[in-house]
Chain A
């Protein structure tokens, strides 16, 4: 009973605020620097950065002004192993990925909101807890990024 209540409370906290399928943030820092801070913030939350995909090779040839488009892949090996054993259909979505796009001197971060997956796992408490944890970690990582960019008020809002 208590376990169910704790889970309900966790999901309640996780469900506050953002209801979007995408989580996005704008940072007062250049995208290259944002990628470096993101790597640190991700690792401080216990994840490993699997790799960084450069998506901007040749973008200018296609008429883009932005010179930076990176995707940071991150995860925890224990979580990936557990998912591949128990929920192989979900391996299509791990490791997690966050896109960092330059907009002049600012960086825009985007990531799929892990809560989006809840609807596919209605009766699966373990997966729903996993999504809630990822969601909370991502909010905390973004808060760290805001703090690093000197946007303290936003960081406070995110970690409340």
Chain B
């Protein structure tokens, strides 16, 4: 009892001390940002955070970008971080790059939408897509993967971007371009102030039209458990046959406990049937390089203590949402249907 009280006091004291500490921007950056943006901000899974780019951005833009993230585009929203922590990260990014914030007038710009649409189609659509959702697959730069762009063009219709950027900052970026990502400056290319205002207005309009995956039903289960009317061996064989029928390649089976205990003690009535379609897999990895954390696809066949055989599969609709990647959500919603068909075929 006394030990438990001591433990509780220790835990609470630790938490209180942490809450009082001045946020360390460098440590926070390394902890939350460097996995995607790299230590030096060179980019990887995330976009580069180079001096030139930061010189063109306001403090508010960086703060809000961290706070709101980019919904559906991998970067999470750090809503639970304190203001002080977010400011510390921004401060660290400034110190590391020696960049100076550029402040923008927050007043909105107005422009001719029809003219903006025509200009967008002519100058922007090729890279940013007709709906402003960015062209190409995934985000970030091409470190591990071959990609058609040096830096994946941003989704300008993304709510996280539009909630972070002011019209004046967008105007400035279009005007001077982004040298590090091959985006040309459009003032040099002959666009007038009015032209750029029209483009800004049109991009805002794209934002209001931007869709996204349907929000997931909160009642959606984490996984599916299906009872089989057949015995263990028959069910196992049926699952494998159904997978081959659906063009998947089966990997060698593994017992659920295999590798966790000696081979004589393993429960052999719990088998993970693992499978893959390599062509689809590599396509998906190009969209979401972290996919390995939920691979390979598998159906777990288990015989319970009462003899009932069950099949357990992850709910891909739920799993796909963990990556904050709309492209993956679309693909995996289709894959979920395939999974359900396989289970149906194996159990009917």
- B: residues with CB less than 8 A from A are 1, 4-5, 7-8, 11-12, 14-15, 18, 24, 26-28, 30-32, 34-36, 38-39, 44-45, 76, 78-81, 142-146, 221-223, 225, 254, 256-261, 267, 270, 278, 282, 285-286, 289-296, 298, 300, 302, 304-305, 310, 312-314, 321-324
Contact = CB atoms under 8 A, between A and B. Distances in A.
Interface in A60-104: 62-66, 69-71, 73, 75-77, 80-81, 84-85, 88-95, 97-99, 101-104
A35 to B, nearest CB: 12
Given A69-B292, A85-B305, A92-B222, 18 more contacts: A9-B12, A12-B15, A26-B38, A28-B39, A64-B145, A77-B257, A91-B300, A92-B312, A92-B314, A99-B291, A101-B290, A108-B35, A108-B44, A112-B322, A116-B322, A120-B222, A156-B27, A160-B14
**Which label, helix, strand, loop or mixed, suits the secondary structure of the B interface?**
mixed
Contacts of B313: 92
Interface string A1-34: 0100110011011001111111011101000000
Contacts of B81: 19
Contacts of B305: 85
A110 B292 contact: yes
Contacts of B14: 13, 160
Contacts of A2: 1, 4-5, 8
Given A19-B79, A22-B293, A51 B258 contact: yes
Task: Determine chain A's interface SS by DSSP, over half rule.
Answer: mixed
- In order of increasing CB-CB distance, the 3 nearest A-B pairs are A50-B259, A99-B292, A24-B35
B322 A22 contact: yes
Nearest to B142: A65
A9 B15 contact: yes
A120 B81 CA distance: 23
A148 interface: no
Contacts of A126: none
Contacts of A75: 260
